[in-house]
Structure 1
Amino acid sequence: MSTPTFPDLTSPEATADPLGFLERLREAGGSAIASFGGAPARLFVDDTDARTILGDKRFVVNTANLEGETTTLSRPELLRNLGIEPDLIVYATEGVLDKDGIDHVRLRKLVSRTFTVRRVQAMRPGIQAIADRLLAELPDHVEDGSVDLLRHFAYPLPIAVICDLVGVPEDERPRWQAWSHALTSFDLGAPERLSATLRELVEASRRLIADHREHEHDDLLTDLVRVTDDNGERMSEDELITMILSLIIAGHETTANLIGNGTHALLTHPDQLALLKDDPELLPAAVHELLRWCGPVFQTRMRYASEDVELNTGTVRRGEAAIAMIAGANRDPNVHPEPDRLDLTRHQGAPGEAHLAFGHGMHYCLGAALARVEGQVAFGSLPSAFPGLSLDPNRPASRQPNIAFNRFEDLYVRL
């Protein structure tokens, strides 16, 4: 049976309505071929298939780890095709997310201790203090009866947390937020802007590293700089810059959009919001359900089959690219009954994670524990601080057309 072909992942048909696109893919059998950056890839929305793509060692993220000749475009080649300036590509292809096997483990170990559940729980009071301050300031930002919750709460909370952790000075944080938002907007029609943004991020990272070499700091970057200087074999200078970019961008962009998406979901499902108000103990399960139902990421990056792999809904041949569409897997009816229904009690008392919002396998999100705590703090504090919180009907939220990230451009609420 032939595999159906779907539109390019950057086409309006995919970006304007990603969930509809993924549902059509499910109706077509659960997998299809689409193109991205001029390269074909097989898309999968079946939960079991997605977990295999993300967790099976037969799938790699670096095409250099494919044995023998292959016509598959590497990630650097894809970025070059998209118009990213050649000297910048290394900073988008040498991070922890771009490594397999021992190379991945080497980089992951350097930062994983910072994100253990115990250490993150110890950070909770500080996160709560940041949230309380931002919520107290929200009324000062009201204009025409409402305030943009993304601009004044959802983004500032995680950017403050991750920048404190990494060591970005407070006066530079708005620029980092703007750069990372531009980079993840996925505006592939303007590669010169993407390149300019990436160059600014790299130069800012170099300045940050130089400052940490010259002055004493007590943060994660200090430890990473020391590792690089003492033993360059453990982390190269390019890897250090890429690690900074990965930590700061991934460490706040996705969490900010979880808070924005989740708040919009709760305000449009008042019965679920009432459940949360009545039972604060529901917060951990609520965060898991919001991650499943309106998580910030639609898809993972490409994986490449090192040999033929037969999946539930299709076969990936050696050298072919596969993409786990995790937003589709998170609505797999075989795993999540009535998947389109938001149910904050769905995960209550359930062991582990039934969703794939943080990925799966070796590349499982480093900051998952931190994101969960930030989500719990945000969704617990907002209704408490503003019991009458509601969407502004005169300024409806607009979703950014994007097949990679699920996010609103703004979110105006009445306090």
Structure 2
Amino acid sequence: MSSHTADAHVIDPAGGCPHALNARLRSQGAVAEVVLPGGVPGAVVLGHDALKEFLAHPDVAKDARHFPGLHDGTVPPDWPLRVFANAQGMHTADDADHRRLRSLVGNAFTARQVERLRPRVEELTARLLDDLDAAAAASPDGVADLRTHFALPLPMSVICELLGVDREHRGRLHHLSNTVIVSTDTTPAEVMAAVRELVALMGTIAAARRAAPGDDLTSALIAARDGDGDRLSEAELIGTMRLMLVAGHETTLNLISNAVRALCTHRDQLALVREGKASWSDVVEETLRWDGPVSWFPFRYPTRDVSVAGTVIPRGTPVLAGYTAAGRDASAYGPGADRFDITRRNGRNLSFGHGAHYCVGAPLARLEAGIALERLFDRFPDLDLAVPDAELPYQRSFIGNSVQTLPVRLA
């Protein structure tokens, strides 16, 4: 790979459905050169085995100090993707720093701790299904947006309750996180303004928990000390809260949305669950593989020239993890990799990552999505899309992978 060659794929900041592009790039190799928005050269790892190797590679880092272009003036100060590189938290830390930050959060997301949340997730799901029903009943055409009334407020409520975030902040938090993390076609000025407001809002939430600590994760993070008695720095605290909030709802929102779309367009697969021939967990896993919630995620940086699937990625290159591409890789999933098949038994997908940075919230996302889908289709067995799937407007993002709205009819 050079600084970038003429045939490097130029990423469209407006994103869209990634699957045709993934197939085209994957046919040329497991690693592709790309030009990131702003003209910055980078790479994306698209093959399943290549991505698995890359994510756990000892010579690949998350800390942006390994990205020379960010510090030597070649990447402009207002580069819109700087927000991913500059964030502070366990997702941009390596080695001992990463282990320290992850251990503080990890206790809240063990399988046992997550299972304790099941009654609350079930209670919220029941309430939101009532809201969805009411929204459809109030609509002149009987149509309601499943994202607005169900797929968003469920994970948003759960993560905000876990973090001790007051209800009045939740709508704004989603808007800001969407601007900063998901929408990649916003202007640098919009991104920077949203980052500033998001950081300020996190500071407000942290201050409220300092003044009145509760039985929540933010209070625990504020009180936590490591073995040497060091607390989290303010930047680490805000960065960790921001990561928890954004990752804790945006991905599950997309996972639930994509699963509903898949089931509505594959009624035979829905019938298999109904008949007890497959489980809701099978639906969740196949959705993660076939149409994962995150498409191309930034960034990792080789700390030396690294060879992946026969392609050398130069030291300091910003590399995207191509999760949706790996999910449909025929070399891993066979000739039917493009087919949505909940009876598939192909081992675990990579949609929550792999290695040291495997998503700490994966058990919670799986729990929420499984409960949400089971209760949704139990309550509304004839639920269907109100608009053909191909006509639904896609998220304007090459990072998030879902639709902007999901209008459904409940019966």
Give the TM-score of the pair, scaled to structure 1: 0.90
Is the 1:282–1:345 contact (alpha carbons within 8 Å) kept by the matching residues of 2? Answer: no
- One-letter amino acid matched to 1:133: R
Aligned residue among 387, 391, 400 for 1:393: 387
Q: Which residue of 2 aligns with 1:53?
A: 54
Aligned residue among 161, 165, 173 for 1:168: 165
Alpha-carbon RMSD across the aligned residues, in angstroms, is: 2.7
Is the 1:42–1:323 contact (alpha carbons within 8 Å) kept by the matching residues of 2? Answer: yes
Counterparts of 1:4 and 1:362 in 2: how far apart (Å)? 35
Is the 1:19–1:327 contact (alpha carbons within 8 Å) kept by the matching residues of 2? Answer: yes
Q: Percent identity?
A: 35
After TM superposition, give the deviation of residue 79 of structure 1 in Å: 7.7
Q: Which residue of 1 aligns with 2:174?
A: 177
Q: Cα deviation per residue 1:172-220 (whole Å; 9 max; x = unaligned)?
A: 2122122222223334441211122111211111111111111131111
- One-letter amino acid matched to 2:11: L
Q: Which residue of 2 aligns with 1:241?
A: 238
Inter-CA distance 307–126: structure 2 relative to 1 (3 Å threshold): same
Whether 1:343 and 2:341 are equivalent positions in the alignment is yes
After TM superposition, give the deviation of residue 5 of structure 1 in Å: 2.9
Give the TM-score of the pair, scaled to structure 2: 0.90
User: Per the alignment, in what secondary structure is the counterpart of residue 157 of structure 2?
Assistant: helix
Counterparts of 1:382 and 1:407 in 2: how far apart (Å)? 19
User: Per the alignment, in what secondary structure is the counterpart of residue 159 of structure 1?
Assistant: helix
Q: Which residue of 1 aligns with 2:348?
A: 354
- One-letter amino acid matched to 1:62: D
Inter-CA distance 229–361: structure 2 relative to 1 (3 Å threshold): closer
Whether 1:117 and 2:111 are equivalent positions in the alignment is yes
- One-letter amino acid matched to 2:115: Q
Is the 1:227–1:235 contact (alpha carbons within 8 Å) kept by the matching residues of 2? Answer: yes
Counterparts of 1:90 and 1:232 in 2: how far apart (Å)? 29
Counterparts of 2:84 and 2:121 in 1: how far apart (Å)? 33
User: Per the alignment, in what secondary structure is the counterpart of residue 130 of structure 1?
Assistant: helix
After TM superposition, give the deviation of residue 39 of structure 1 in Å: 2.3
Is the 1:76–1:93 contact (alpha carbons within 8 Å) kept by the matching residues of 2? Answer: no
After TM superposition, give the deviation of residue 131 of structure 1 in Å: 0.3
Inter-CA distance 371–175: structure 2 relative to 1 (3 Å threshold): same
How do residues 259-274 of structure 1 correspond to structure 2 at under 5 angstroms? 259-274=256-271
Q: Which residue of 2 aligns with 1:207?
A: 204
Inter-CA distance 74–116: structure 2 relative to 1 (3 Å threshold): farther
Number of aligned positions between the proteins = 402
Counterparts of 1:335 and 1:131 in 2: how far apart (Å)? 35
Q: Which runs of 5+ in 1 are unaligned?
A: none
Q: Which residue of 1 aligns with 2:397?
A: 402
Counterparts of 2:288 and 2:6 in 1: how far apart (Å)? 29
After TM superposition, give the deviation of residue 77 of structure 1 in Å: 7.8
Q: Which residue of 2 aligns with 1:18?
A: 18
Q: Which residue of 2 aligns with 1:95?
A: 89
User: Per the alignment, in what secondary structure is the counterpart of residue 334 of structure 1?
Assistant: helix
After TM superposition, give the deviation of residue 6 of structure 1 in Å: 2.8
Is the 2:259–2:283 contact (alpha carbons within 8 Å) kept by the matching residues of 1? Answer: no
